[in-house]
Amino acid sequence: KYPARYEIDALRCIYCGFCVEACPCDAVRMDTGVHPANWGFSRRDFVETKELLMDRSRKLQAIGKEGLYEEHVRRYQHV
């Protein structure tokens, strides 16, 4: 049995880690330390889809945690 869709709603998340513990494939982690400084203005801007999370994971593997953090700082430095 698999979910019909996979989304993380940052407005509802309390960073408890239950999703990490419940994931049978060890696919959910809370260890990047990279969080957008400015999510947006609509509720939809706060929802992270499976595709977005997978893209972030690929970037993390390609450039490493430090590289992803530096990219994050450059992107949100003006906010």
Give pLDDT tens digits for 6-33.
888 888 988 898 888 887 777 777 776 6
Q: Please give the torsion angle defined by the CA atoms of residues 15, 18, 24 and 30, in that order, rounded to the nearest 10 degrees.
A: 20
* Cα radius of gyration (the chain): 14
Asked whether the predicted pLDDT for residue 56 surpasses 70, the reply is yes
CA angle 3, 21, 54 (to 5 degrees): 55
**pTM tops 0.85:** no
Domain boundaries, the chain: 7-76
CA dihedral sign, ordered 17, 19, 21, 26: negative
Could you give the CA distance from residue 47 to residue 76 in angstroms, rounded to a whole number?
18
pLDDT recorded at residue 78:
65
